[in-house]
Amino acid sequence: MLSPQGAQSFEALKLTNEHGAEYWSARDLQGMLGYGQWRRFEDAIKRAMTSCETSGNNADYHFAGAGKMIEVGKGGLRQVDDYHLSRFACYLIAQNGDPRKPEIAHAQKYFAIQARRQELSDQAAADLERLELRKQTSEEFKALSGAAQDAGVQNKMFGVFHDAGYKGLYGGLSGAAIKAQKAIPEKDSLLDRMNATELAANQFRMTQTRDKLAREGIRNQAQAIQTHEQVGKEVRDAIKRIGGTLPEQIPPAEHIKEVAKRLKKATPKLELNEREAGGLLGGVPKKSGKGAL
Of 74-88, 139-153, 159-173, 182-196, minimum mean pLDDT range: 74-88
Q: What is the pLDDT of residue 285?
A: 46
pLDDT given at position 18: 87
pLDDT tens digits for range 7-35: 558 888 999 988 888 999 999 999 889 99
Give mean pLDDT, residues 167-181. 97
Tell me the CA distances in angstroms from 82 to 26, 46, 68, 70, 183, one per residue in order: 6, 12, 6, 11, 58
Beta bridge partners of 82: 66
Give me the mean pLDDT over the 182-188 stretch.
96
N- to C-terminal Cα distance for the chain?
A: 20
Is pLDDT of 192 > 50?
Answer: yes
User: What's the pLDDT band for 267 if we cut at 50, 70, 90?
Assistant: low
Spatial distance between the Cα atoms of 265 and 56, rounded to a whole number of angstroms: 25
Q: What mean pLDDT comes out for the span 221-227?
A: 98
pLDDT at 172: 97
What is the torsion angle, in degrees rounded to the nearest 10, for the CA atoms of residue 82, residue 41, residue 8 and residue 201? Answer: 180
The residue type of 30 is Q
Residue-level pLDDT at 292: 42
CA–CA distance, 134 with 199 (Å, rounded to integer):
7
